[in-house]
Structure 1
Amino acid sequence: MAGFKPFLGLALLAAAAALGAQVTKAPVPAQAAAAPVETPAASPVLARGTVIPAADLEKFVDGYVRRAMADEHGAGVTVGIVQNDQPLLLKGYGMASLDPVRPVDPRRTLFRIGSVSKTMTWTLMMREVEKGRLKLTDPVNQYLPPELQVPDQGFKNPIRIIDLMSHSPGFEDSGLGHLFVDTPERILPAAEYLARHRPDRVREPGTISAYSNYGVALAGEILARLNGVDFQTLADRDIFGPLQMQRSTYREPYEPRAGIPQPMPKALAADRSHEFKYKGGRYQPSGYDYVTTIAAAGSISTTAEDMIRYMRLHLNGGTLDGVKLYGPETARLFRTPVLNVPEGVNGWAHGFGMSRMPGGFASFSHSGGTTSFFTDMVLVPELNLGIFISTNTSGAGGIVGSFADAVVDEFYVKSPPIRRAGDPALKDKAGNYAGNYITTRRHYSGLEKFVGLLGGINQVSVSDDGYLVTAGGGSARSWAPTGKAGQFQAADGDDLLNFVLDENGKATGVYLGSFLDRAGPLMSATLFAAVAALAALTGFGIWLAFFARKRVLSPLVGQRRSEQALLAAAGLWLASILVFGVWMATFTDIVGLLYHFPPALLVIASTLALFGTIATFVALAFMVMSGRRSPAAGREGGWTMWGTARQGLAIALFLLLALLVAVRGGLLPWA
């Protein structure tokens, strides 16, 4: 599930991929057409206690959404906005179905909201706290059977309920091949999934936030066991029923099956939005992601109208239309950060993400995503304002990402363009910050680590004009020093960037959306690519020289064995690099990577690399055992000094490549 901004990296990549075969282009409803939209006249800036005029809001949102749909190729969008406990805007744009063409109806059409579902899980959790049935400081193992309890793995502190709510249980992140599944037959009972796919612990709980779908799924299992029903039934009983959210459900459409929760009612399934992708000028159907196994982390389907009711609940402090779901203390906690983090960093207000909007307004929000749906829900208590938006098309997440900020800015701020000045003196401190940084939300071993690092390394540098520049995920941004040690502000906005510094003022990590560890030089993507390319050329050269010499090898036994082992190593490394290159060149089904992992070609490449590493060590061992020969040895058939150097350099190069692959997890084909 996508988490608090930015969206889940791999899910966003999956959504951006062009997938599958083309289909006949269906007619697009007029609402979704990329027709010219008249830009509304600028409205005056409103005082903080003033409600946005509904007509002005609709005109602005119409223009914003339709332009964004045209730019992002979004098939359908649903919007709900509430202020002062009254709906201000409830509107659908574009299509919910291709065949037959069905427009988005914000009252009837169900959109998948991904990780926004987590806020309802935390609402259920806080209800149990209010009932006195659990405490936030209780260890999670206190509520789990032995087979689901989390081992300490050498860490001194137990994982607590509050650590799940702040995404700080200390788990590594894992999802490829099991977080989403593509057929109902692959859905596992929640307990079986939690036992089979438990991630390793990699840090003490409660220290830093590293978004964890597994942690939320664990919370869902605790809630289900505490109440003696499956999680979906609990949500129906304690959230959707009392709030009269009659078109909302954690359930998914599949045939009933023993051992898993009852499916989505057919009446709701008939009104759900389909999933879309845009390819070759055509909207095409996309696949359905089954998330039932970890439902608490993100399986809700709902309407914009129901989400208005849900936002009203939280803006009203836990009460909706006379129904009290939680009390004032819980309402306070939903505005109170759990983690002690620097200014501008999300401290997780007991499950709600925290950020600053234009004008300095504090917001409490959650975003969400599947491979085809992208959603944002933002609450602004100071304005008594709630904003919900969702789209149903892979690659169209940009429609929702800045929508809430744009609404607040349009009516309450009117931010002028910003361009902060850099500081040329920053060049003298470049070494304190420049380097590679790796997200803590990652797998820490095996091929999932290897794949995650292919695009998961952020680079930090300092420009000549005194800006700190962050680059990663295909985009870059400039930051200007604020004057506080380790803190920078966006050159074009209000976002803050905070580094963690050691006693010498050198950065050890940075808060950039989430927390990123500073990586050593071995994690340099440039170094990895250069060594791999040089190793491929060397491997090819070794085999070419072997055939050019008509297979002549040294007559000295130790040297001959070393040459034979190096020849094998060269072939294995060359084959590994070629197979990996073929996989990279031909791989387009990123969604398939999420469903089925690891791919066969990657396993083959990893296996070849493992045997190449072994062969390289064998070559080194025989070289050491053979001893150094004098130049005269060449006349006796042994190596000359140049031959020894050539052998040693080739072995060193292959060992360096093995080291770079190993630290990335690429030598564990079974993991």
Structure 2
Amino acid sequence: MRALSGLVGLCCGLLLSFQADAQRPPAPPQAATPPAGVDSVARLTADDATTWLDGFMPYAIARGDIAGAVVTVVKDGQILVRRGYGVSDVAAQTPVDPDRTLFRMASVSKLMTWTAVMQLVEAGKLDLDADINQYLDFKVPERGLPITLRQLMTHTGGFEANIKYMWTSEAVAEAGGIELGPYLKRRVPAQIFAPGTVPAYSNYGTSLAGYIVERVSGQPFAEYVEQHIFVPLQMQHASFRQPLPPALRALVTKGYALGSGKPRAFEVTPSAPAGALSATGSDMARFMIAHLSAAGGHDTAILKAATSQLMLTPQTRFAPPLNTMALGFYEIDVNGQRVVSHAGDTYSFHSQLFLFRDHDVGLFVSLNSAGANGITGPIRRELLENFADRYFPAGAPATAAAVDTALAKAQSRQLAAPSYLDSRRAETGIGRTGILTQTRLEALDDGSLRLPRLKQPNGQPTTFKPIGPWLWQASNSELRLAAILKDGTPVGFAVDSSSPFNVFLAAEGYRSALWLKPLLTAAVAALALAALAWPIAALVRRRHGRVLGWPRSTLLAYRLSRAACWLLLLVPAAAMAVMAWASADFARLDDRLDPAVIGLGIATVIAIIGGIGATAWNLVQTVRAGRGWLARLWAALLLLSACVLAYALVLMGLADFALNY
């Protein structure tokens, strides 16, 4: 069972986009909130922000074991603060320079892609609501309806989240192995939702949009962005190129798992429009200024004001009143302020951009290490919340509406009944191994809901108190949880922190962990007991000079059934070993893994056929030999256990032979 559980947990960790933050650094002391009626924004000065950041960031990165960070703040069209913290190279002790040190932007890169798309929409060369296939030189399969650019920009194209080819090496990039068009054509993911119906974060969808920019503009994507975004905004060190040009390669910070550890290799992604940008803190400040200016009604060098308004308009809310996507940006409102954002994470780099659009204020942060215990998420969240509390404090809370306790109890029980799957998930081949790692809600006696997956800073699960029909709020923050209703019946739920691009949908009955996990646990225990007891019993008999006096066919069936138990258990163990090898360097998740995937498929099919066949024959021979009822019951239990594990292996995709996982 340890092998199976480990495999499920490992693969789930590869696929989940919504992470529960395990630890949050305590906030440094803050100034008192201004009295009501005082213009708190006026306090946002270069001196005050610098002093505050210099108190927060060094402590945060030191506690989190992060090598270095950069933070920039912009206001009223100017760079207010640009600060580097820690080092870009631990061995050389090179300090972070906000003007010259390049950080990897990860998914913040998507904002460049979406800006490029909106430029071409503005020019009349793209239609947000047209079938994307009219812009491509290959056909993306449709699930009932065509996919549009609007759906790509809101992560509602319906694509599964594959893990193959997410990362590769600089050697592959130097050899020309990451051309965007060929990459997209060879790894078209399955469309698991009808377009426009479910938010499911998609790097592939963003890369498709980048390829459309490339085809419609007639320029390679990296060149288009350089000419139409970087040059007009004087983002002198920004680049999507992989590897970086020699002049920039010497300036990029090294990436670390832990600041106290060794540096990792430069992370190359074939999905360049979704995550390949390298840039300095000052580059990102100029990008924020341009978007804030356009949002404020001014035409800029990259977008007209009307285009910006369209880009920042919220789209469909799948779990109202929670946050949702605009076109490329997503809402992350705080203290009653309208804030749009985008985060980005590679294995080493963790970045986020926040635009306080009503105040012409922007905040950007990037960290060059994963840090300890998933600390980068809490640091970014704490930075935003403390920044907002300091400069945009919340007004007096509105009088809370009375909550119908009886109704809240009934609704919490109803919502907590199923087991849930992330909308962002893989459904092909070994990518499906995490399918049984599902999310549960716990209904409490007062109508509250507990979400064990989402941890508080003290490690305890987050509890949400009812504040309205099908709506709950965290007891210690503004975070909300809402049910997703269909014809008045809950079919899922979402949480503010991820609701724009990921929701939780009730698992179908045939693969619900509610019944399958307990049954699978019992099945694995029975098979393991039989497998382990076989050699032990043989040794005991040999020591005491005893033999099994059964007919030859019965004895053969017994031995084959026990060998089959071992085979059934070794398959998930082998799968775990393969995934552990790949997880040591995610660039290995490419064609090099194909022989192992095919081998796993062959082994799984043999184990399923052999396991069910051998245990079934053992049951028949046990009955024919006239053995006692206990032996017959045990033989029947082994057959049932083999069937259950075989079913789970099929559900987890180990018998698919699919190479586009």
Higher relative contact order (CA 8 A, sep 6+): 2
RMSD: 3.6
Q: Which of 295, 310, 332 does residue 309 from structure 2 map onto?
A: 332
Query: Does 2:169 match 1:182?
Result: yes
Change (3 A) 1:109 1:350: same
Distance 1:640 1:168 in 2: 59
The alignment status of 1:298 with 2:293, answered yes or no, reads no
Specify whether residues 41 and 491 from structure 1 end up closer, same or farther in structure 2 by C-alpha distance, changes over 3 A only: closer
Q: Secondary structure at the match of 2:195?
A: coil
Judged with a 3 Å threshold, the aligned counterparts in structure 2 of structure 1 residues 627 and 118 are, in CA distance, closer, same or farther, namely same
TM score, norm. by length of structure 1: 0.82
1:394 paired residue number: 370
Query: 2:482 aligns to what?
Result: 498
TM-score (norm: length of structure 2): 0.83
Cα-to-partner distance string for 1:645-667 (whole Å, 9 max, x where unaligned):
22211100121122223222233
**Correspondent of 1:308 among 276, 285, 291:** 285
Tell me, which stretches of 5 or more residues in structure 1 are unaligned? 1-7, 17-33, 254-263
User: What amino acid does structure 1 have at the position aligned with 2:414?
Assistant: N
What is the correspondence of 1:412-431 to structure 2 with a 5 Å cutoff? 412-413=392-393, 425=406, 431=413
- Alpha-carbon distance in 1 for matches of 2:413, 2:178: 49
Stretch of structure 1 that moved more, 457-466 or 399-408: 457-466
Asked if 2 retains the 8 angstrom alpha-carbon contact of 1:111 and 1:373, the reply is yes
For residues 66-99 of structure 1, the C-alpha deviation after alignment (integer angstroms, 9 at most, x for no partner) is: 2211221111111110112122211111111234
Partner of 2:530: 538
1:478 matches 2:468: no
1:219-273 CA distances to partner (integer Å, 9 max, x unpaired)? 11111111222100111111101111111111133xxxxxxxxxx3322221111
Residue 244 of structure 1 corresponds to which residue in structure 2?
Answer: 234
- Residue by residue over 1:449-483, the C-alpha shift from the partner in whole angstroms, topping out at 9 and shown as x without a partner, is 21x447x5222112345421112276621101122
Equivalent position to 1:150, from 128, 140, 152: 140
Question: 1:652/1:328 Cα in 2 relative to 1: closer, same or farther (>3 Å)?
Answer: same
- 5 Å-filtered alignment, 1:594-609, equals 595-596=588-589, 608-609=603-604
The structural deviation recorded for 1:535 is 2.5
Give the Cα separation in 2 of the matches to 1:588 and 1:271: 31
* Alignment of 1:102 onto 2:86: no
2: CA distance, partners of 1:319 / 1:482: 34
* Structure 2 equivalent of residue 555 of structure 1: 551
CA distance in structure 1 between the partners assigned to 2:200 and 2:474 by the alignment: 23
For the Cα contact (< 8 Å) 2:156–2:200, is it kept in 1? Answer: yes
Residue type at the aligned position of 2:338 = A
What does residue range 113-132 of structure 1 map to in structure 2 within 5 Å? 113-132=105-124
Superposition deviation, residue 284 in structure 1: 2.3
For 2:172, the aligned partner's letter is E
- Structure 2 residue 395 is matched with structure 1 residue 408: no
Aligned to 2:4: none
The aligned residue for residue 382 of structure 1 is 358
Paired residue type of 1:408: A
1:317 aligned partner: 294
Alignment partner of 1:572 out of 548, 567, 572: 567
Equivalent residue for 1:648, pick from 633, 636, 639? 636
Could you tell me the percent identity over the aligned residues?
28
In 2, Cα distance between the equivalents of 1:553 and 1:237?
Answer: 84
* CA distance in structure 2 between the aligned counterparts of 1:459 and 1:67, rounded to whole angstroms: 35
* CA spacing shift, 1:594–1:400, aligned 2, 3 Å: farther
What residue in structure 2 maps to residue 214 of structure 1? 204
Provide the C-alpha distance between the structure 2 equivalents of 1:12 and 1:60, rounded to a whole number of angstroms: 34
Indicate whether 1:228 and 2:205 are aligned. Answer: no
Partner of 1:353: 330
Residue 667 (1) aligns with residue 655 (2): yes
Query: What is the aligned counterpart of 1:489 among 454, 473, 497?
Result: 473
1:590 to 574, 583, 591: 583
State whether residues 224 and 231 of structure 1, in contact with CA within 8 Å, keep that contact through their aligned partners in structure 2. yes
- Whether contact under 8 Å (1:543, 1:571) holds in the other structure is no
Distance (whole Å) between structure 1 residues aligned to residue 563 and residue 16 of structure 2: 40
2:250 aligned with 1:270: yes
Shift of 1:213: 0.3
Which residue number corresponds to residue 264 of structure 2?
286
Q: Distance in 1 between matches of 2:147 and 2:16?
A: 29
Per the TM alignment, residue 290 of structure 1 is displaced from its structure 2 partner at its CA by 0.6
Q: Matches of 2:232 and 2:295 in 1, distance apart? A: 12
Name structure 2 gaps, 5 residues minimum. Answer: 1-11
| Inter-CA distance 138–574: structure 2 relative to 1 (3 Å threshold) | closer
Q: Secondary structure at the match of 1:339?
A: coil
Residue 256 of structure 1 is matched in structure 2 by none
Shift of 1:323: 4.7
Question: For this pair of structures, how many residues does the alignment match?
Answer: 612
Could you say if the C-alpha distance between residues 219 and 656 of structure 1 is closer, same or farther in structure 2, counting changes exceeding 3 Å? same
Give the deviation of 1:10 after TM superposition: 3.6
How many Å separate the matches in 2 of 1:90 and 1:628?
77
State the secondary structure of the residue aligned to 1:413: coil
2:7 aligns to what? none
* Cα pair 1:76 1:393 within 8 Å, conserved: yes
Counterpart residue identity of residue 257, structure 2: K
Whether the 8 Å contact between 1:391 and 1:399 is mirrored in structure 2 is: no
